[in-house]
Amino acid sequence: MQRVYLGLGANLNSPKKQLDNAVIALESLPNSEFIACSHYYASRPMGPQDQPDYVNAVACINTSLEPEQLLDLTQAIELEHGRVRKAERWGARTLDIDILLFGEHILNTERLTVPHYGLTEREFVVYPLQEIAPELILPSGASIQQIANTLPLNDLQQLPR
Ligand SMILES: CC1(C)Nc2nc(N)[nH]c(=O)c2N=C1O
């Protein structure tokens, strides 16, 4: 089994509900065990500002699925929640599920880049990840503690459960 961390994000159609539904779907993934989900965090959009604020979280599962099998399933969950893929790059979305980390794997395939390219610069990823995995060491050898300590906290708000 591999320990996988998934970034969840939504800024359309009741984003908190979208994340609730995503967690429910992740709890039923085959050959996987749901471990935890962080608090939800609200933040201004990174990138184009002409869209609503986002709600983000990081979830953790153990899985024996292969990376691309997991990607197929997370993309199916996004589509089930109305995600229209090929939407404008960095545009608003009903639900985004990003594979942030897949065990110690470093992958650069057509479909999958792991660790996720934005992992260490996005406060809406770093802080929820640190919340559920404070001792985490990334495949690069950097610790989530170090990354969080050097990342300026702009406007991230932890939402009540
Ligand atoms: C559009 C872009 C880059 N900006 C984001 N901005 C925030 N705050 N949260 C996201 O999940 C997010 N996702 C994206 O894909």
**What is the spatial distance between Cα 11 and Cα 56, in angstroms, rounded to a whole number?**
9
Q: Hunting for tokens 């990138």 — which residue is that?
A: 47
Q: Is the CB of 117 under 6 A from ligand 1?
A: no
Helices (H) and strands (E) in the chain, counts: 4, 8
ipTM of this complex: 0.97
Q: Is residue 40 in contact with ligand 1, taking CB distance under 6 Å?
A: no
Note the pLDDT tens digit of each residue in 3-60: 999 999 999 989 999 999 999 999 999 999 999 999 999 999 999 899 999 999 999 9
Q: Distance, CA 54 to ligand 1 centroid (Å)?
A: 7
Model pLDDT, residue 81: 86
Q: Which residues are known to be catalytic? A: 83, 93, 96, 98
Q: Whose CA is nearest to atom 9 of ligand 1?
A: 54
Q: Indicate if ligand 1 lies below 6 Å from the C-beta of 118.
A: no
Is residue 43 in contact with ligand 1, taking CB distance under 6 Å? yes
Return the structure tokens found at 45.
Answer: 């959009």
Going by CA atoms, what residue is nearest to atom 8 of ligand 1? 45
The whole-model pTM stands at 0.95
Which pair of tokens denotes residue 40? 């939800």
Residue 144: name the closest of 113, 107, 101, 102 by CA. 101
Residue 80 CA, ligand 1 centroid: distance in Å: 20
Crossing angle of helices 67-80 and 15-27, in 10° steps, is 140
Encode pLDDT of 94-142 as tens digits: 899 999 999 999 999 999 999 999 999 999 999 999 999 999 999 999 9
Q: Is the CB of 89 under 6 A from ligand 1?
A: no
Mutate to test the pocket of ligand 1, among 16, 56, 155 (most ligand atoms within 8 A of CB): 56
